[in-house]
């Protein structure tokens, strides 16, 4: 049986609307590790408990597909080591998965940096550790460029990104979300991260789709920086688009007004010029092919359409 502390940690993950996919997946990994270290269940019962815990973590942050993929990797590793120690299989998988995410981040930054030339004006939306790493890497190579950051309502993650860039002495302009359309026509490119890459397109902070649409109309290329740990071989997880449980962006004082603070939206592949992964610049056709080849453990297949 799972310890009460684990449920408290899951609740903290569920209530966290500010951290990115990398940070939330790392926290999910710690929870899986804690469960594995404390469990003395035989293999079959351990796998059932692991599946139950995985479902709780996935539902806690359904838009963060890297958590789904972490759980899938753990279940798959256990199935391959039926005669071994299931807890050790999970512990090793968690360590490898998080290490792979960090290594992917470095590779993506290396692959994306050549796109940033002197004089570039870059528009970005929300906070992405991969985007931040890329811009810092370009700055370390003495590239001279300017960044337009949106506030990224309702949680204002873009403010944190702007502060990080300013601390690195990168010229940055912080604008309200609706003002970004005034800056897009003169931008060199749009660079954003992703919480998921699914069969339908890119799941990212709400507002990404509108920015991509407007950028395309002005022939401004949109690049999405993401690792394969965020690939999801089905339609976008519906629950990932749910609103926050409290009013974040508007305090109306009127019961008749419904405030819906949607956190994510879906940007179709057709609006994205290139995806940049740990493998390099990839066309959407190649991404779709890779999505079709992802194998899901039987315990998690029912969650391919979770909502």
Question: If you search the block for the tokens 């926050």, which residue do you land on?
Answer: 244
d(CA 120, CA 116): 6
Q: If 0-12 CB within 10 Å is exposed, 13-18 middle and 19+ buried, where does residue 41 land?
A: middle
Distance, CA of 216 to CA of 273 (rounded, Å): 9
Is the distance from CB of 126 to CB of 157 less than 8 angstroms? yes
Residues in a beta bridge with 146: 121
Distance CA 9, CA 31 (A): 7
Of 45, 52, 69, nearest to 10 by C-alpha is 52
The SS3 call for residue 264 is strand
DSSP state, residue 302 = G
For residues 157 and 268, what is the distance between their CA atoms, to the nearest angstrom?
Answer: 23
Indicate which residue of 16, 85, 195, 265 is catalytic. Answer: 195
Q: In whole angstroms, what is the distance from residue 52 CA to residue 127 CA?
A: 31
Contact 226, 169 (CB under 8 A): no
- 265 has catalytic annotation: no
The catalytic site residues sit at: 195
């Amino acid at each position: 049986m799972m310890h009460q502390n684990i449920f408290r940690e899951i609740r903290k993950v569920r209530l966290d609307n500010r951290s990115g996919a990398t940070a939330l997946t790392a926290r999910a990994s710690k929870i899986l590790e804690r469960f594995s270290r404390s469990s003395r269940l035989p293999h079959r019962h351990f796998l059932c408990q692991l599946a139950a815990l995985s479902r709780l973590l996935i539902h806690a942050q359904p838009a963060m597909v890297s958590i789904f993929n972490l759980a899938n990797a753990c279940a798959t590793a256990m199935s391959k080591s039926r005669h071994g120690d299931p807890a050790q299989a999970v512990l090793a998988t968690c360590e490898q998965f998080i290490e792979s995410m960090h290594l992917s981040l470095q590779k993506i930054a290396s692959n994306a940096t050549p796109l940033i030339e002197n004089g570039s004006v870059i528009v970005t939306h929300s906070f992405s550790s991969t985007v931040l790493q890329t811009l810092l890497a370009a700055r370390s190579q003495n590239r001279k460029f300017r960044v337009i950051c949106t506030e990224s309502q309702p949680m204002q993650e873009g403010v944190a990104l702007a502060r990080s860039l300013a601390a690195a002495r990168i010229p940055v302009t912080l604008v309200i979300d609706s003002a970004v359309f005034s800056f897009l026509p003169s931008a060199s490119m749009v660079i954003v991260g992703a919480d998921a890459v699914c069969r339908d397109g890119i799941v990212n902070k709400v507002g990404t789709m509108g920015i991509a649409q407007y950028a395309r109309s002005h022939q401004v290329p949109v690049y999405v920086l993401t690792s394969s740990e965020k690939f999801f071989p089905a339609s976008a997880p519906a629950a990932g688009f749910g609103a926050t449980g409290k009013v974040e962006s508007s305090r109306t004082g009127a019961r008749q007004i419904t405030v819906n603070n949607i956190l994510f939206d879906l940007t179709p592949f057709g609006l994205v010029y290139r995806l940049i992964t740990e493998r390099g610049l990839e066309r959407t056709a190649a991404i779709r092919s890779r999505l079709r080849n992802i194998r899901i453990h039987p315990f998690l297949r029912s969650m391919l359409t979770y909502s």
